[in-house]
Structure 1
């Protein structure tokens, strides 16, 4: 594991944000991590992992974390809060500690007909309306998930028997105005509905608030990332309920890490850098 202090050696707290990252160290993080938004999901995930392996941590600034094992595979989870700015801190801190593969697990709102409440959406890329990613790189830079992580998430859904969809998402910096919802007092931008329709026409599947930041930063840092989210809102029909969606998404993420670990071992065994179908024959 790469030590956080060594990774930032010679830099001041002003340069590294060291004061902000105090209280974020978790022992035995390993290389694979799940990123739920809501800190409440940490305990839910710990209950899904192998009995007696999970250890939960209360961190600075309301974040929570857990280490443990799923089907014998070591993994870590850390909450990110809501939105790209909140995700940036745990992502960079965990990367400095040696984590190289991240999967966001959470909930989402679907904007296409035919997607049902409880379905899993696997975004392989995201429209960058988040704000955070724009602070790092030009707007033309793509926000794309790692193909290997996407394939592992697909296989996880197949293994678990969950209905899923794969495609483009839209990450916003606002829960209300950014997702074409009316805000306090009914305030709504005049072009909000037009943007919603444009996204639908472009075959965008869903809204979220973290995916673009996760994918863009992971690409810039040379890390692997993916995301899966359970649909709890169907904007076209007006349906909105949780129905165990959080638990399904968290389970898919853990299963995907179990799959990725096996694939990574096979790549190393065969001396390959990337996964291809022939490797698994």
Structure 2
């Protein structure tokens, strides 16, 4: 009797909680629905703005905050899946998309810039991230670095250069809250402990921008051996207090072109017999 109980409990733990193994539970996509590279905006409304830049596209799933479309950009296969706000929902998207074969993730979002000389509408290409969100802590120890894949960073920089968009590269901080966690006052002026010093401390450490998803996406991708990066348009300048929803299409176009360049990088690697693209291999 004891053996039967233990075997039953083990079976329950091993089985999926989702009885439908054809599609993923949250994002509702299956194998073949998405390209190898997926753009990850937060806002579901950005999906239409991104696909408007592509050659063609088809919406393949829509469930909760997750909208997914697949198409081509200048002939390169590409998909987009919205993640909603914050690292927990972004982590679900990465998990489930990885399970259907996605190997490259590029966050496409908005952010607040915290360094002088960064204008609203500029792009920030993340090279690594401060993990001030709790989701990635549930995957790996807190001193594990959240780093962007070098090939993805190179592709994003090359894309921004080719498109003529102003951009910055550097460290991003990802927070779990829009208000207290980013040094903003809460309801009725509430201030979390240390919030008045947060932005200044990050600025002194040469952190470039603040947003809410990049560090979890980068960390999880690294743990699984996948490629990931992030490009965000500056909506808010925390130095000057300026705010405008500007540069969204630039981030989307830069990310889309980066996917095409990554596909070319992969082709060059195959031709050269190289494991990694590097500066000695021309694009």
TM-score, structure 1 as length reference: 0.91
CA contact (8 A) 2:29 2:61 kept: no
Flag as ranges the 4+ runs of structure 1 deviating above 4 A.
Answer: 15-20
| Inter-partner Cα distance in structure 1 for 2:20 and 2:189 | 38
Q: Deviations over 1:132-185 (max 9, x none)?
A: 011111111000000010000000000100000000010001110000001111
1:270 matches 2:254:
no
CA contact (8 A) 2:33 2:60 kept: no
| Inter-partner Cα distance in structure 2 for 1:115 and 1:28 | 38
Q: How many residues align?
A: 269
**SS at 2:281's partner residue?**
helix
| Inter-partner Cα distance in structure 2 for 1:28 and 1:224 | 19
- What's the counterpart of residue 4 of structure 1? none
1:155 matches 2:186:
no
* Unpaired segments ≥5 residues, structure 1: 1-9
TM-score, structure 2 as length reference: 0.91
CA contact (8 A) 1:174 1:209 kept: yes
Would the alpha carbon gap of residues 176 and 201 (structure 1) be closer, same or farther in structure 2, given more than 3 Å must change? Answer: same
1:48 matches 2:50:
no
CA contact (8 A) 1:21 1:89 kept: no
**SS at 2:131's partner residue?**
strand
CA contact (8 A) 2:65 2:83 kept: no
Give the alignment partner of residue 256 of structure 1, picking from 252, 255, 258.
258
**SS at 2:154's partner residue?**
helix
Q: Deviations over 1:110-150 (max 9, x none)?
A: 01111001000001000000110111111110000000100
**SS at 1:21's partner residue?**
coil
Q: Deviations over 1:214-264 (max 9, x none)?
A: 010000000000000000100110100013x21111111001001110010
1:62 matches 2:65:
yes
| Inter-partner Cα distance in structure 2 for 1:280 and 1:248 | 24
Would the alpha carbon gap of residues 151 and 22 (structure 1) be closer, same or farther in structure 2, given more than 3 Å must change? Answer: closer
- What's the counterpart of residue 228 of structure 2? 225
Deviation at 1:11, TM superposition (A): 3.9
Give the alignment partner of residue 28 of structure 1, picking from 24, 30, 33.
33
CA contact (8 A) 1:120 1:230 kept: yes
